[in-house]
Amino acid sequence: MIALFTDFGLADPYVGQVRAVLAMQAPGVPVIDLFHAVPNFGIQAGAYLLPAYTQYLPPGTVVMAVVDPGVGGPRRAVFVRAGDRVYVGPDNGLFVVLAERTPGATSFEITWRPPRTSSSFHGRDLFAPVAAMLARGRMPDSHPTVLTAPADGPWPRDLPRILYIDHYGNAVSGMRAETLSAQASLRVGSHVLTQARTFAERAPGEGFWYENANGLVEIAVNQGRADQVLGLALGDPIAIV
Amino acid sequence: MIALFTDFGLADPYVGQVRAVLAMQAPGVPVIDLFHAVPNFGIQAGAYLLPAYTQYLPPGTVVMAVVDPGVGGPRRAVFVRAGDRVYVGPDNGLFVVLAERTPGATSFEITWRPPRTSSSFHGRDLFAPVAAMLARGRMPDSHPTVLTAPADGPWPRDLPRILYIDHYGNAVSGMRAETLSAQASLRVGSHVLTQARTFAERAPGEGFWYENANGLVEIAVNQGRADQVLGLALGDPIAIV
Amino acid sequence: MIALFTDFGLADPYVGQVRAVLAMQAPGVPVIDLFHAVPNFGIQAGAYLLPAYTQYLPPGTVVMAVVDPGVGGPRRAVFVRAGDRVYVGPDNGLFVVLAERTPGATSFEITWRPPRTSSSFHGRDLFAPVAAMLARGRMPDSHPTVLTAPADGPWPRDLPRILYIDHYGNAVSGMRAETLSAQASLRVGSHVLTQARTFAERAPGEGFWYENANGLVEIAVNQGRADQVLGLALGDPIAIV
């Protein structure tokens, strides 16, 4: 399986062109659009969402992860073996949190280059072909070089900020819920929120935090939009009180 | 074939995670993203759109239909055999219109539970595995219990309200066009609209109602946005005049 | 491979219903959602984006291209053999630029009709079945008629206007970059922009034009939204200065 995790959005032709490459170069391999809504150029947000959103993918999955504002510049291309999965993308910090949290994770530089590369779309021209190779059990380079100092980082293991607001208005943070006590209260803006296990535990319109289905602390309002009800925006800090 | 009908949207990681489960548990079965834009928590809107949008799917299709504001609460899980298709989802009214309109439709409670379930994402953790089982000809429970009193309902067979506004600005109602005379006029807000068979029958900018490609009464404006030109919003009532 | 290029958007049920038809009638053929965001009813924008966005698709690809404001009226249905690919859709100008630029391109009228056709959704009812036939090596008509005078056009080979604004805010034009010197400056609104090869060549917030990954002239701002920074909108003219 190949899973895609990018900031490409779905409206533009970019995901379709990546999929066309994968259909040609890895025929028969299922391709999953896991997440294309990383906030534009949001390397750090992507770095914290990536391990959460990919943790339930089956062993052997190749994740093509591309948030790449420096495309065309000097940043390297990498693939990272982390647990039973492989991640492919730019070496710009996107894999730092994943690598720090996964014992034995190893990053390899990709020096292979396709015959023709655009200057702005390495997702299609470089990373998709490499993802196709890896999904078919081939290596892009015959003697891959281990990267001992991946770009950027280290970053904290958990980031107490709002990194993504989903279409229900729920605010997803970069904190793993397992690091918090269920008795913890969280302050965001002027609101102090306690924990709930399910939406149904709270009255309609009431705000709370809970462990979302990907293990992250998420701020929600039962049958309402937390972003509007609580006045939340991307990047807002969250404090444990 | 497995078809997905939800309020998950496409931007968030939810559809991708459902698809990853289906790719693992029903490998080789085509999966169709039929509709993920049921208005958030809109059980009733979903109930009227579901039979319309799924009526042309081939015999044997398994429809995973999830609009589930009560997830984590006491609502049951069901699958419904209706005609040649099977529907899987929460027992909260979403299948009421489908069942009432389909002779012989039968609802079964799902008591099977996966080893691990999140409290907020039964689409991924419960309904997708059950859809995969049914698509492969297996039953989730060895002796499924017929539900004689499905949750909620009965609701009217047709709902004269605007349930969905598509990206062209066309307003889709919960009324089947076959229940109306082509001579009927419809009042919505301060506008009275007559029927057209095609967009091309009307002058650009002119409003009308017509039978859309899924058999529903739809309000449209030739080469314009009906929602803006006519001032329409979700939930607006429609009167036959 | 079948690639889809439409103005259907992704939120509505239209793409899913097309895919259900293709899954039934061309089982096993990969289907790619290449682009569903042609501006609504934007035949001319679609005509210039179509050859750019489909040029890297593999030989043998069937492209179903539907931007069809005249559906239900007298416009013909066509398929166009252009290079190694086949295009299927309405004969309303959408294929004019493709045909003019591709030596030997030939348009054929489709007279085949399905047993049942809605008046508003020929994408699902007519073009998808024909695309499925062509993808399986069958012809919709036993003696297809060559169209010697395709509808509309001729149009200029390049269109110096903004035809699409992507989700990063980059503005895509209808001009092929190969027709311009790298020394050319472009005026759009009150701004005069010079060429860059990559985003990384410019300071954050600076505007420029470049050859995008599909060979078109695109106006961008490094790490910013060109539409907002430069005040750009769909249809804005671009002048070479």
**Among candidates C17, C23, C119 on the partner chain, residue whose Cβ is nearest the Cβ of B198:** C119
B→A contacts (Cβ < 8 Å), by residue, are 8-13, 15-17, 19-20, 23-24, 27, 40-41, 69-74, 118-121, 124-125
Q: Is the pLDDT of residue C184 over 70?
A: yes
Contact call for B11 and A37, based on CB within 8 A = yes
Q: Is the pLDDT of residue A171 over 70?
A: yes
Q: For testing the chain B interface, which of A198, A217, A218 should be mutated: the one with the most B CBs within 10 Å? A: A198
**Contacts with C36 (C-beta within 8 Å, 6 or more apart), sequence order:** A11, C4, C5, C6, C7, C8, C9, C10, C15
Task: Write the ipTM.
Answer: 0.96
Q: What's the pLDDT tens digit per position in A74-110?
A: 899 999 999 999 999 999 999 999 999 999 999 999 9
Average pLDDT for C10-39: 97
Mean pLDDT for chain A overall: 95
Per-residue model confidence (pLDDT) at position C126: 98
Per-residue model confidence (pLDDT) at position C62: 98
Which chains have at least 3 CB atom pairs separated by less than 8 Å from chain B?
A, C
Per-residue model confidence (pLDDT) at position B151: 67
Beta bridge mates, C88: C64, C79
Instruction: Read off the tokens for C94.
Output: 């959408």
> What type of residue sits at position B170?
N
Q: Is the pLDDT of residue C138 over 90?
A: yes
**Among candidates A35, A200, A211 on the partner chain, residue whose Cβ is nearest the Cβ of B13:** A35
Q: Is the pLDDT of residue C60 over 70?
A: yes
CB pairs under 8 A between A and C: 79
**Residue numbers in C near B34 (CB within 8 A):** 13, 16-17, 20
Per-residue model confidence (pLDDT) at position A227: 98
List C-alpha distances in Å: B74 to A41, A198, B121, C193: 41, 11, 14, 61
**Among candidates A58, A200, A213 on the partner chain, residue whose Cβ is nearest the Cβ of B118:** A213
> What type of residue sits at position C77?
A
Which is it for strands B2-6 and B62-66: parallel, antiparallel or unpaired?
parallel
- What is the band of A181 on the pLDDT scale with cuts at 50, 70, 90? very high
Q: In chain A, whose CA is at the least distance from the CA of C8?
A: A11
- C-alpha B196/C-alpha B200 separation (Å) is 9
Contact call for C200 and A24, based on CB within 8 A = no
Q: Is the pLDDT of residue A152 over 90?
A: no
- C-alpha A160/C-alpha A157 separation (Å) is 10
Residue with tokens 């489909």: C54
Nearest chain A CA: its distance from C116 CA (Å): 30
**Residue numbers in C near A73 (CB within 8 A):** 198-200
Contact call for A200 and B9, based on CB within 8 A = no
Per-residue model confidence (pLDDT) at position B150: 65
Q: What's the pLDDT tens digit per position in C67-123?
A: 998 888 889 999 999 999 999 999 999 999 999 999 999 999 999 999 999 989 999
**pLDDT > 90: what percent of chain C?**
89
With contact defined as beta carbons under 8 Å apart, do B230 and B191 qualify?
yes
C→A contacts (Cβ < 8 Å), by residue, are 1, 3, 10, 30, 32-37, 53, 56-58, 166-168, 197-201, 210-214, 223
Per-residue model confidence (pLDDT) at position A151: 67
Contact call for A72 and C168, based on CB within 8 A = no
Question: What parts of chain B have a pLDDT lower than 70?
Answer: 149-153
- C-alpha A88/C-alpha A79 separation (Å) is 4
Q: Is the pLDDT of residue C148 over 90?
A: no
Closest CA to A41 of C121, B59, B75, C225: C225
The pTM (predicted TM-score) of the whole model is: 0.96
Contact call for A33 and B27, based on CB within 8 A = no
Q: Is the pLDDT of residue C135 over 70?
A: yes
- C-alpha C68/C-alpha C126 separation (Å) is 12
CA–chain centroid gap for A156, Å, is 16
Average pLDDT for C178-195: 97
With contact defined as beta carbons under 8 Å apart, do C185 and C241 qualify?
yes
Per-residue model confidence (pLDDT) at position A143: 87
- C-alpha A163/C-alpha A181 separation (Å) is 21
Which is it for strands C62-66 and C2-6: parallel, antiparallel or unpaired?
parallel
Mean pLDDT for chain C overall: 95
Per-residue model confidence (pLDDT) at position A150: 64
Per-residue model confidence (pLDDT) at position B79: 97
Per-residue model confidence (pLDDT) at position C154: 76
Question: Contacts for A22-29 with beta carbons within 8 Å, 24 or more apart?
Answer: A22/A128, A22/A131, A22/A132, A23/C1, A23/C30, A23/C32, A24/C1, A24/C58, A25/A128, A25/A129, A25/A132, A25/A133, A26/A2, A26/A131, A26/A132, A26/A135, A26/A136, A27/C30, A29/A1, A29/A2, A29/A132, A29/A135, A29/A136
Contact call for A16 and C35, based on CB within 8 A = yes
Contact call for C11 and B36, based on CB within 8 A = yes
Q: In chain B, whose CA is at the least distance from the CA of A7?
A: B11
